[in-house]
Chain A
Amino acid sequence: MAIVAQSTRYGKVTRTILAWAVGLLFFFPIFWLVLTSFKTDADAVKPEFLFFFTPTLENYLNMTENYDYWRFATNSIITSIFATVFTLAVGIPCAYAMAFNPSRATKDVLMWMLSTKMLPAAAVLYPMTFLTKNFLGIYDTHFLVIIVLSLINLPIVVWMLFTYFKEIPKDIIEAGKMDGVNTWGEIREILIPLAWGGIASTALLCFIFCWNEAYWTVRLTTTEAATLSKLIEGNRAPEGLFFGRLSAVSAAAVGPIVVLGWFCQKQLVQGLTFGAVK
């Protein structure tokens, strides 16, 4: 008995140490980033100032005064919110149809949706830039960014919603039909309230993915619709000497999403482990 108790205690201690180690490993770059953002560009590259330096707000002040941080932030907020809303508006009816009126093709459609995520983005870079710039004339517009962000996230959003909706008993939806509701009524009165937790975590993840997206937002915008990703990219000076400035911009870009994530931890964990535990 004593041996068992001891070994479980050792196991517990080991697991705790391991968890902290992994946690710190993931946290370190963020910590480093925040630390560097308070250094001058000159101090940032000197190893002797790794932990001990004279903190300065210069980088942050510089950023809001000279680089128009708020414009980029506003663009990020607008595009992420609209893309999330649009994705859900399309994704909810889509997942509803597949979950409650499945056909023989439903599984294939789901797989096909996922397969679009397997296409390397770089493969369509040229047609995307060429078409949006020269043909459609929507290059560097909010509209384009919203559409692109929506389409990128739609497959994963449909998959997540489908999994949540699948857990709602079909009988309840059918009871709704018998009680005289039409399809929209079913979605509004029954489906959304019942799957609220799942929809919220899906929306949150979608928002985070939109916010963090860098490949397309950097390449399909110049100034008008440029998001925070573009701001970071723009501060990546070729000389590589402006680490302090770059860090401040990055910290200010990831800051809002880290705070949002912190407050919604529960929903996020639920969203990320969807279907894993019943």
Chain B
Amino acid sequence: MGRIVLENVTKSFGDVEVIPPLDLTIEDGEFAVFVGPSGCGKSTLLRLIAGLEELTSGSVSIDEEDVTLVPPSKRGLAMVFQSYALYPHMSVRKNIAFPLRMSKMEQSEIDQRVEAAAQSLNLIDYLDHKPGQLSGGQRQRVAIGRAIVREPAAFLFDEPLSNLDAALRVGMRLEIGELHNRLKTTMVYVTHDQVEAMTMADKIVVLQAGVIEQVGSPLELYRTPRNIFVAGFIGSPKMNFIEGDEAAKHGAKTIGVRPEHISVSDSQGEWSGVVGVSEHLGSDTFFHIHETGLAETMTVRADGEVGFKHGDRVFLTPRADAIHKFDDKGLRI
């Protein structure tokens, strides 16, 4: 069980309020991802749940029990840090066993659980190594092992993949997803990478300056972003925003169209422009179009086979049902 409820939570560091009053519920078994640009308060929010930061006001409860004043060691949560935070003076085995030893569990039970965790994380051959002898990916797996042996009420991940290289990150992303499917335990995951958020989450919490901009499933956020910030933050490449007359035609201050919802042609279309940089990914090509008279640059996603060259004049047509409209406050119409 691991239902986490934040009520009226605020956090200030001195005179600086990093989290204005905020309410949030994370259901039992849910994979919730906090995402936002750096400095948006997502890590602080996670640390408030962990108990590593004290609340300025409000309350945190886990499974209906108020833990606002409970120290982190008694909250029954496990955390995986960006820096792995393994104990460098202990072997992998001792690292994983540490939380169990601290809870005074019997040695035979500890051994059994450590073995099982090491087995499932492919760490069996490294049990007697020190963390310093392991690669980044292995270290992160040890950190995860240390978290899972305790069978916590919820897992907290603080940007766990940021220190890994790109290929490893994709692999670990899958492993964590797999882990969640297997354990069905609540996971709260902080990242600044919207791709991680989209691929892993059941529920995404988009934060900006400590304020929750939107909460929803990945597809909800993608399809119906509540405001310009969420629209621009979710989705890659970023949504194109157009203001002025073109937006007014749709009765909005700003309209947004995702690159994948614009078709490109050499003969006809609603808008026209000149091809700038093309990014070829093989399966897709991203064209950066200039001189459209709508926005400085517009990004269009086309099939990998489409072969426009730098300087070609092209025509763009947005998909009518995929135009997002925003009012002068930036809110969705």
A interface SS class: helix
Which chain A residues border B89 with CB–CB below 8 Å?
Answer: 193-194
A239 within 8 A of B: no
If A179-B73, A179-B99, A181-B102 touch, whether A169 touches B83 (CB-CB below 8 Å) is yes
- Which residues of chain A have C-beta atoms less than 8 A from B304's C-beta? none
B85 A171 Cβ-Cβ under 8 A: yes
- Please, could you name 27 A-B residue pairs with CB atoms under 8 Å apart, sorted by A? A169-B83, A169-B85, A171-B82, A171-B83, A171-B85, A172-B85, A172-B88, A174-B81, A175-B79, A175-B87, A175-B146, A177-B51, A177-B73, A178-B52, A178-B72, A178-B78, A179-B73, A179-B78, A179-B98, A179-B99, A179-B146, A180-B74, A180-B102, A180-B103, A181-B73, A190-B87, A194-B87
Tell me if B52 and A177 are in contact (CB < 8 A): yes
Chain B, 44-90, CB within 8 A of any chain A CB: 50-52, 71-74, 77-79, 81-83, 85-89
Mask, A58-73, CB within 8 Å of B = 1, is 0000000000000000
The interface of chain B, by Cβ under 8 A from chain A, is 50-52, 71-74, 77-79, 81-83, 85-89, 98-99, 102-103, 146, 150, 156
Residues of B within 8 A of A178 (CB): 50, 52, 72-73, 77-79, 156
| Per-residue B-contact encoding for A202-213, CB less than 8 Å = 1, 0 else | 000000000000
B206, chain A: closest CB distance, angstroms: 26
A2 to chain B, nearest CB (A): 44
**10 shortest interchain CB distances as A-B pairs:** A171-B85, A179-B99, A175-B85, A178-B79, A177-B72, A180-B102, A180-B73, A193-B89, A171-B81, A171-B83
The CA of A182 and the CA of B86, in the complex, are separated in Å by 17
Contacts of B146 in A (CB 8 A): 175, 179
Contacts of A182 in B (CB 8 A): 71, 73
Are B72 and A185 in contact (CB-based, < 8 A)?
no
Q: How distant is the Cα of A175 from the Cα of B80 in the complex, in angstroms?
A: 8
Cβ contacts A239-278/B at 8 Å (1 or 0 each):
0000000000000000000000000000000000000000
Residues of chain A at interface, number, CB under 8 A:
17
- Return A260 CB to nearest CB of chain B, in Å: 26
Task: Give A226 Cβ to nearest chain B Cβ, in Å.
Answer: 42
Q: Which residues, 172 to 222 on A, are CB-close (under 8 Å) to B?
A: 172, 174-182, 185, 189-190, 193-194
In the bound assembly, the distance between CA atoms of A169 and B51 in angstroms comes to: 18
Q: Which residue of B lies closest to A175 (CB)?
A: B85
From A169, A174, A181, A185, contact of B52 by CB (8 A) = A174
Assuming A175-B146, A176-B87, A179-B146, what are 19 further A-B pairs, CB within 8 angstroms? A169-B85, A171-B82, A171-B85, A172-B86, A172-B87, A174-B79, A174-B81, A175-B87, A177-B71, A177-B73, A178-B50, A178-B78, A178-B156, A180-B102, A181-B102, A182-B73, A193-B89, A194-B88, A194-B89
Q: Which residue of A lies closest to B103 (CB)?
A: A180
Query: What residue of chain A has the Cβ atom nearest to residue B98's Cβ?
Result: A179
State the CA gap A178–B103 with chains docked (Å).
12
A185: shortest Cβ distance to chain B, in Å? 7
**In the bound complex, CA of A171 to CA of B102 (Å):** 18
Q: How far is the CB of A167 from chain B (nearest CB, A)?
A: 12
Q: How far is the CB of A128 from chain B (nearest CB, A)?
A: 42
Residue of B nearest to A169 (CB): B83
Cβ contacts under 8 Å, B71 to chain A: 177, 182
List, in ascending order, chain A residues with CB within 8 A of B98's CB.
179, 189
Which of A175, A176, A190 lies at the interface centre, i.e. has the most chain B CB atoms within 10 A of its CB? Answer: A175
User: Smallest Cβ distance from A179 to chain B, in angstroms?
Assistant: 4
User: B83, A180: Cβ atoms under 8 Å?
Assistant: no
Chain A residues whose CB sits within 8 angstroms of the CB of B83 once the complex forms: 169, 171
Chain A minimum-CB-distance residue to B90: A193
Closest beta carbon of chain A to B296's beta carbon, Å? 41
In the complex formed, the residue of A with least CB distance to B84 is A171
Closest partner residue, chain B, to A181 (CB atom): B102
Q: Give every chain A residue within 8 A of B51 (Cβ-Cβ).
A: 177
Q: Which residue of B lies closest to A171 (CB)?
A: B85
B87 in contact with A180 (CB, 8 Å): no
Question: Inside 8 A of A171's CB, which chain B residues have their CB?
Answer: 81-83, 85
Contacts of A193 in B (CB 8 A): 89
Residues of A within 8 A of B79 (CB): 174-175, 178
Taken together as a complex, chains A and B put the C-alpha atoms of A189 and B99 apart, in Å, by: 11
Residues of A within 8 A of B74 (CB): 180
B residues in contact with A189, CB < 8 Å:
98, 102
